[in-house]
Structure 1
Amino acid sequence: MKTIYESTFIAIGKSAAEALDDNFLITFGEGAPNDIAEYCFIHRSDINPGENFSAGALITLGEHQYPITAVGDVARENLRDLGHITLRFDGSSSPEFPGTIHVIGKPPAVIHVGEKFCVFSD
């Protein structure tokens, strides 16, 4: 599999982990506005070639792997340009919102600063 995107979590907003209990998480790149950062897992991009990916690709959060089932219309460009997506752990085959990526699996119980966030595709 080819690395489409790779980043490292550098901060976790005070309210970000609460979303994991509701089967989603929100990411944002470094430099997110403070009022938004409170709800986000903040990461710094290591590899961002801007290549497309779609359902069938794979997202990893630390050691956890999640097959992608749906990608919203602007999710790829939001991830590339802002580091921002909403990741829903519901396996939906159609995106709920334009910036949402849906995956199969349960969210991790916790995400730590220093863990990797990656997207892989064939």
Structure 2
Amino acid sequence: MSNVIYHSKINQIGEFAQEALADGMLILFKEGAPSDLADYCFIHSHDDLKHEIQIGQTLQLGKHVFNITSVGDVANVNFRELGHITLRFDGNHQAELPGTVHVEGEQPTQLFVGDEIKILSD
């Protein structure tokens, strides 16, 4: 049975966030993101990250499910402190940037306010 190690909801979608999503990138930031970044982010209610994000865990965004394939060196610190990570939907097995989490699965074309964000660990 999977354990939920993180759970929040999207509360706001920045003006350019859906465009970034169309380019294969989703930027999450907790409420209170700097205004110059917020336009590109999916702003969410931030929860405690109960365990480190690791390869092999499952990420759920709304009705979409993804396998985590790599985690950047500072992704856990950034997510714990700022609610901030960049998700890439390319399935890379090596993180492109230190704050990036790569996942595999069908890239969503759109997300909505109220969609849940969950990270599950076996």
Quick check: 1:50–1:80 contact (8 Å CA) kept in 2? no
Q: Report the Cα distance in structure 2 between the residues aligned to 1:57 and 1:49, rounded to whole angstroms.
A: 13
- 2:65 aligns with 65
1:63-116 Cα deviation digits (max 9, x unpaired): 100000000011111111111000000000000000000000232111100110
- 1:117 aligns with 117
Q: How much does 1:9 deviate?
A: 0.3
Q: Report the Cα distance in structure 1 between the residues aligned to 2:83 and 2:49, rounded to whole angstroms.
A: 13
Unaligned runs of 5+ in 1: none
Unaligned runs of 5+ in 2: none
- 1:102 aligns with 102
- 1:84 aligns with 84
Q: Report the Cα distance in structure 1 between the residues aligned to 2:119 and 2:48, rounded to whole angstroms.
A: 10
- Which letter maps to 2:80? R
Which range is displaced more, 48-57 or 59-68? 48-57
Q: How much does 1:48 deviate?
A: 1.4
- Runs of 4 or more, structure 1, over 3 Å off, are none
The percentage of aligned residue pairs carrying the same residue is 49
Q: Considering only aligned residues, what root-mean-square deviation do their CA atoms show, in Å?
A: 1.0
**Aligned to 1:51, what secondary structure does the other structure show?**
coil
Q: Report the Cα distance in structure 2 between the residues aligned to 1:24 and 1:103, rounded to whole angstroms.
A: 10
Q: Kindly tell me the number of residue pairs found equivalent between the two proteins.
A: 121
Quick check: 1:69–1:104 contact (8 Å CA) kept in 2? yes
**Aligned to 1:19, what secondary structure does the other structure show?**
helix
Q: Report the Cα distance in structure 1 between the residues aligned to 2:49 and 2:27, rounded to whole angstroms.
A: 21
1:4-36 Cα deviation digits (max 9, x unpaired): 111110000000000111111101001001111
- 2:52 aligns with 52
Pair 1:22–1:49, CA change in 2 (3 A): closer
Per the normalisation by structure 1, the TM-score is 0.95
- Which letter maps to 2:79? L
- Which letter maps to 2:77? E
